[in-house]
Amino acid sequence: HELAGAASHTSGRARKGNSLREAIERETDRPMAKLGWLASLAAAVVVVVTLRSPLAAAQLRPGYYASICPNLETIVRNSVRQSMAQSQISAGATLRLFFHDCAVRGCDASIMIVNSNGDDEWRSPDDQSLKPQGFQTVLDAKAAVDKDPQCRYKVSCADILALAARESVVQSGGPNYQVELGRYDGKVSTKSSVVLPHVDFNLDKLNAFFSGLGLSQTDMIALSGGHTMGAADCSFFQSRIGTDPTMDSGFAAQLRGTCTSSQSSAFLDPTPLGFDNSYYKNLQGGRGLLGSDQVLYTDPRSRGTVNYYASNQGTFFYDFTVAMTKLGRVGVKTAADGEIRRDCRYTN
């Protein structure tokens, strides 16, 4: 019961001095290491429609906790820094966790809930790509916030997750941006609510989902840049090796040597610890790991944006922050339908 016991640090977490590949192989020899956030970022359209609530999103603002918990962002920043020092894969795992949370019931930290009957989002087969280091980062940040008497039990897990995702990007070399705050935590989490796409999704399927969230194709391509960090399990792209003509032959040979077992994984881009535009350069060379990544370049309707981001990192950074802000407004809960959880894993 990994998430339920995640409040205490596990011995499997990577320490400084270990290679990233060693960390991934050790920490992800389980179903939770399957693929990056993009290939898993979706929900049934009927659910997506209910996630767009302009009235709830209107309550969000950067200074929401200015008088409630004035040191909030500093506390979360320092906590995330410690998490990243303890585990090399925590940044990518935390960013991915934010996307998975917002995709299902909105940005309400329902992905964190542990139900005693085992019926919760994080145990859905479609959420097994999530790594425990992302959950631990949020739990540690929540504990740090609640140590401040002024802040105790006044800051939602949903807002802490949003801030932790931002810090994971910034502290990995990515863009800084203001995070709108004021979310309440959701009270419901079920396996059946998790309906996610596959790694073979084409551009039309990707656009259909993101459009349902109020995001454009440009937003989707910018958010895809989150794949600049982390790794994917070989089972999610092995079928492409040697059979997909859009994959570079040299890259295919490299992956064939990497994927020697069902537990093997490969980096999503050459700089898996840094947030940059290498992801898009990879796509240009036919070195996108997942089919749903490479399609962004092979489809002429999205290729121009990929090319532009590959040569203009500043524009990619700006568009990413815009898209992250828009994503953070999805499915926001209010005091009427949410709460401030004392423990992110359990409803009050």
Q: pTM for this structure?
A: 0.85
Q: Is 140 annotated as a binding residue?
A: no
Which residues sit opposite 231 in a β-bridge?
Answer: 267
Q: Same domain, yes or no, for 108 and 164?
A: yes
pLDDT at residue number 122: 86
Residue 246 assigned ligand-binding role: no
Q: According to the annotation, is 101 in a ligand binding site?
A: yes
Q: Is residue 343 part of a domain?
A: no
Answer yes or no: is 340 within a domain.
no
**269 is annotated as contributing to ligand binding:** yes
Which is catalytic among the residues 1, 9, 100, 198? 100
227 is in an annotated binding site: yes
Q: Do 189 and 79 share a domain, yes or no?
A: yes
pLDDT of residue 201: 94
Q: By residue range, what is the domain housing residue 135? A: 20-198
- Shared domain for 172 and 24, answered yes or no, is yes
9 given a catalytic annotation = no
Q: What is the pLDDT of residue 56?
A: 67
Distance CA 138, CA 214 (A): 26
- 321 annotated ligand-binding residue: no
CATH number at residue 135: 1.10.520.10
Q: Choose one of 136, 166, 198: the last residue of a domain.
A: 198
So what's the pLDDT on residue 54? Answer: 60
pLDDT value of residue 3? 53
116 is in an annotated binding site: no
Q: Tell me how many domains the chain contains.
A: 2
Out of 198, 220, 237, pick the residue that ends a domain.
198
Confirm or deny that 121 is annotated as ligand binding.
Answer: yes
Taking the C-alpha atoms of residue 62 and residue 272, their distance in angstroms, rounded to an integer, is 29
The answer to whether residue 237 is domain-embedded is yes
Q: pLDDT tens string for the chain (348 positions)?
A: 445 454 444 333 333 334 444 444 444 443 333 333 343 443 333 344 456 666 667 699 999 999 999 999 999 999 999 999 999 999 999 999 999 999 889 999 999 999 999 998 888 777 777 889 999 999 999 999 999 999 999 999 999 999 999 999 999 999 999 999 999 999 999 888 887 767 889 999 999 999 988 899 999 999 999 999 988 889 889 999 999 999 999 999 999 999 998 688 898 888 889 999 999 999 999 999 999 999 999 999 999 999 999 999 999 999 999 999 999 999 999 999 999 999 999 999
17 labelled binding-site residue:
no
User: Are 51 and 192 part of one and the same domain?
Assistant: yes
- Is residue 335 domain-resident? no
